[in-house]
Structure 1
Amino acid sequence: MNLLQLILSDYSKHKKYGGHFLGIVFFTQGFWAVFQYRLAHFCYCRIKWQPFRLLFLMLFLLWQKIIEITTGISIPASAKIGHSFYIGHFGGIIINANVIIGNDCNISQGVTIGVGGRGEKRGTPILGDKVYVGANAVVSGNVNIGYEVLIGACSLVNQSIPDCSVVLGVPAVIISQKGSKGYI
């Protein structure tokens, strides 16, 4: 997908949850953060000529910090996030620079997706498509989160999770095989 298609898919996902154009563009902090990320990631991946790359990356880093201070949402330009990404609520969201997030994912407030673990488990997560991450959940370490996984609120995920699972707890355990259908 090109940049415009990615931004439109994110906008459509926000609109699906009951927003309208003015509300989404001017009052939805999650959309602001994702929009800023899309532009910064485009620059990070596509601009190769060093003088321009450095200039644009510095400008986008400054813009990212303004968005981070304003919204409480930190998404570095080097993270890899698929289309139709939705951040439902304001604040406290930290995404590591090396994280990979699939298509059509939802993230609630207070979520941390980042580096963790020791030895072989040290690293950053890879989230599959249609993953829902509940409020104040933490996903850390070199783990793979499967397709259509629902991570419950206040959970700590530090091990890989198979497709269509519902996980909950600290550390998270599989409580169901119903997946995220209905949450995405």
Structure 2
Amino acid sequence: MKYAKDIKRYTDYSGKSALVMLLTQQGLWALFYYRLFNSVYVSNIPSIFKKVILFFGVLFQKKAEIFTGITLPYSAQIGEGLYIGHHSGIIINANAIIGSNCNISQGVTIGVSGRKEHRGVPTIGDRVYIGVNAVVAGNIIIGDGAVIGANSLVTRNVEGGTTVMGVPAIKVSDLDSQEYIL
């Protein structure tokens, strides 16, 4: 179950119990609604029932978004073990693809950008660390194990196992996310 792996990432980082994490972490609250309604979105239940449930899903997710400052649309594709370090100001595009065991810091935007055939949303690999206030936008690929530094603007592909930072983001190191991802 993906949500169980999300919780495990939180308990691994903090050393606190799952119950404490569930009661205190806004990232887990937003992930709960995302996982619940994403499971409906990808299910094979009849279309009429799915539409009704997802209508209420939008309302519940909007409530979570207002309360936590985290936008996780049920149609985004997010792998297991997502860790949201701090709440607030996190916006994920409804068409974004995020791999497993990624870390997203506060203030991060993963969104649409570009023109014509370059317009689109990012595909983010596994074990990617995205620093505070980073913007990752456009039809780009972020490779497995990449690190995106704080306050960076990423609008081009990032090789796996590298660190990028700046505006626009450029490769600054061959260090991967191993030190950031538990």
Place the TM-score, normalised by the shorter chain, in its bin.
over 0.9
Looking at structure 1, the residues matched to 69 and 155 of structure 2 have their Cα atoms a distance apart, in angstroms, of: 24
Looking at structure 2, the residues matched to 179 and 50 of structure 1 have their Cα atoms a distance apart, in angstroms, of: 43
1:6 aligns with 2:6: no
Q: Deviations over 1:75-111 (max 9, x none)?
A: 0010001111111101000000100001110000000
1:95-134 pair list within 5 angstroms: 95-134=92-131
Q: Which of 61, 67, 72 is the equivalent residue of 1:70? A: 67
Q: Unaligned stretches of 5+ in structure 1?
A: none
| Residue type of the alignment partner of 1:174 | K
Q: Which of 15, 26, 30 is the equivalent residue of 2:27? A: 30
Q: Deviations over 1:39-69 (max 9, x none)?
A: 1100101043122111110111111000000
| Residue type of the alignment partner of 1:129 | D
Looking at structure 2, the residues matched to 108 and 130 of structure 1 have their Cα atoms a distance apart, in angstroms, of: 13
Looking at structure 1, the residues matched to 117 and 141 of structure 2 have their Cα atoms a distance apart, in angstroms, of: 13
| Residue type of the alignment partner of 1:55 | V
Q: Which of 165, 177, 180 is the equivalent residue of 2:177? A: 180
Q: Report the 3-state secondary structure (helix = DSSP H, G, I; strand = E; otherwise coil) of the residue aligned with 1:181.
A: helix
8 Å contact kept, 2:148–2:164: yes
| Residue type of the alignment partner of 2:94 | A
Moved over 3 A (4+): none
How many corresponding residue pairs?
180
Q: Which of 79, 84, 90 is the equivalent residue of 1:93? A: 90
Looking at structure 2, the residues matched to 47 and 28 of structure 1 have their Cα atoms a distance apart, in angstroms, of: 31
| Residue type of the alignment partner of 2:178 | K
Q: Report the 3-state secondary structure (helix = DSSP H, G, I; strand = E; otherwise coil) of the residue aligned with 1:175.
A: strand
Looking at structure 2, the residues matched to 50 and 117 of structure 1 have their Cα atoms a distance apart, in angstroms, of: 33
Seq. identity, %: 48
| Residue type of the alignment partner of 1:160 | N
| Residue type of the alignment partner of 1:21 | A
CA apart distance, 1:22:
2.7
Q: Which residue of 2 aligns with 1:156?
A: 153
Q: Report the 3-state secondary structure (helix = DSSP H, G, I; strand = E; otherwise coil) of the residue aligned with 1:46.
A: coil
Looking at structure 1, the residues matched to 54 and 44 of structure 2 have their Cα atoms a distance apart, in angstroms, of: 9
Greater shift after overlay, 23-32 or 141-150? 23-32
TM value normalised by structure 2: 0.96
| Residue type of the alignment partner of 2:5 | S
Looking at structure 1, the residues matched to 88 and 158 of structure 2 have their Cα atoms a distance apart, in angstroms, of: 26
TM value normalised by structure 1: 0.95
CA RMSD of aligned residues (A): 0.9
Q: Report the 3-state secondary structure (helix = DSSP H, G, I; strand = E; otherwise coil) of the residue aligned with 1:17.
A: helix
Q: Unaligned stretches of 5+ in structure 2?
A: none
